[in-house]
Amino acid sequence: MEADLSDFNIDAPRWDQCTFLGRVKHFFNITDPRTVLVPERELDWAKVMVEKSRMGIVPPGTQVEQLLYAKKLYDSAFHPDTGEKMNVIGRMSFQVPGGMIITGFMLQFYRQMALSYITATTTAVATAVGMNMLTKRAPPLVGRWVPFAAVAAANCVNIPMMRQQELIQGICVKDTNHNEIGHSRRAAAIGITQVVISRITMAAPGMILLPVIMERLEKLHFMKKVKVLHAPLQVTLSGCFLIFMVPVACGLFPQKCKLPVSYLEPELQDTIKAKYGELVPYVYFNKGL
């Protein structure tokens, strides 16, 4: 017996996005690193299935599980606004494998600024160099935390820089019916701040706890004999942290933010009140990732 999919809304979230646990489950689903290995033709199939479902013309015999899987692949590999397939490095499914490689090697070669230059930005390098100068006489463990300070500093500068147009021109805000009603710089600042906090939270456990773990392990007799395995071990352990921290950090704040009209710029408030009166008490915007 075929399932009735006439009322199926493929864009409706499977988990309540108003709760932290619901958001974490959602991001666990779309950041599944196994989907990095999915063939391109299967990703194209997923996009076709999602688009057909939105138009209400699901092929006969299609099961709900197939649509949910197609949506998972779609969310993991395609841009949420444009619908274009992203390159592998930019996909949600690459967050864990990409992050574990960068984090693992930054922690392993924390005194080698050449690698920091390649894997981080000028801000991160400047922070790392400064921190290294301050920690020369500090215990070795303190020096191992230099990469985290560099990553945190880089996120605080790079994300606002990459999204500076939103800070200058404002981010699109909508009403409850998804109708665009203006652009707000204050909304952009809130969204960018939340993304910076999420990114730092994502990196923190691994980059703070792993140095402690590795310092203990490197003192063991058998670990001194297999130094060549230290870097692969750090990469693997970084991946273990990121598998959990990527969805947890992404789920800290709702993807669709709600903001009172009274918090917007005065000119935008006037525009909204002139057009809608008191019918629009809140606006909504996508904070980004």
What is the tens place of the pLDDT at every residue in 132-190? 555 556 566 666 777 777 777 777 877 888 888 888 999 999 888 888 888 999 999 99
| 85 Cβ contact partners less than 8 Å away, ≥ 6 residues apart | 43, 44, 47, 77, 78, 79
Inside any domain, residue 280:
no
Mean of all residue pLDDT scores within the chain: 81
Mean pLDDT of the region 35-40: 89
Mean pLDDT of the region 26-50: 90
- How is residue 191 written in tokens? 């969204």
Q: Are residues 82 and 125 in the same domain?
A: no
Out of 104-113, 121-130, 236-245, 264-273, pick the least confident: 121-130
Confidence of residue 47 (pLDDT cuts 50, 70, 90): very high
pLDDT more than 70, % of the chain: 84
How many Cα atoms within 13 Å fall on the side-chain side of residue 129?
11
Q: Are residues 218 and 128 in the same domain?
A: yes
Q: Are residues 196 and 127 in the same domain?
A: yes
* pLDDT at residue 116 greater than cutoff 50: no
Inside any domain, residue 282:
no
Per-residue confidence (pLDDT) for residue 109, from 0 to 100: 64
Inside any domain, residue 39:
yes
Q: Are residues 222 and 153 in the same domain?
A: yes
**Contact present, 97 and 33 (Cβ < 8 Å):** yes
Per-residue confidence (pLDDT) for residue 138, from 0 to 100: 59
| 199 Cβ contact partners less than 8 Å away, ≥ 6 residues apart | 155, 159, 249
Per-residue confidence (pLDDT) for residue 42, from 0 to 100: 93
Per-residue confidence (pLDDT) for residue 238, from 0 to 100: 85
* pLDDT at residue 51 greater than cutoff 60: yes
> How many domains does the chain divide into?
2
Per-residue confidence (pLDDT) for residue 275, from 0 to 100: 86
Per-residue confidence (pLDDT) for residue 194, from 0 to 100: 93
Domain that holds residue 66: 20-92
DSSP, collapsed to helix, strand or coil, labels residue 174 as strand
Mean pLDDT of the region 208-227: 82
Inside any domain, residue 262:
no
pLDDT more than 90, % of the chain: 19
Q: Are residues 154 and 227 in the same domain?
A: yes
Per-residue confidence (pLDDT) for residue 113, from 0 to 100: 43
Inside any domain, residue 103:
no
Mean pLDDT of the region 188-209: 89
Inside any domain, residue 154:
yes
pTM of the predicted model as reported, rounded to 2 decimal places: 0.74
* pLDDT at residue 40 greater than cutoff 80: yes
Q: Are residues 132 and 72 in the same domain?
A: no
Inside any domain, residue 153:
yes
Q: Are residues 148 and 247 in the same domain?
A: yes
**Rounded CA separation 172/182 (Å):** 6
- How is residue 169 written in tokens? 């021109």
**Rounded CA separation 14/289 (Å):** 19
Count of other CB atoms within 10 angstroms of residue 80: 13
Inside any domain, residue 98:
no
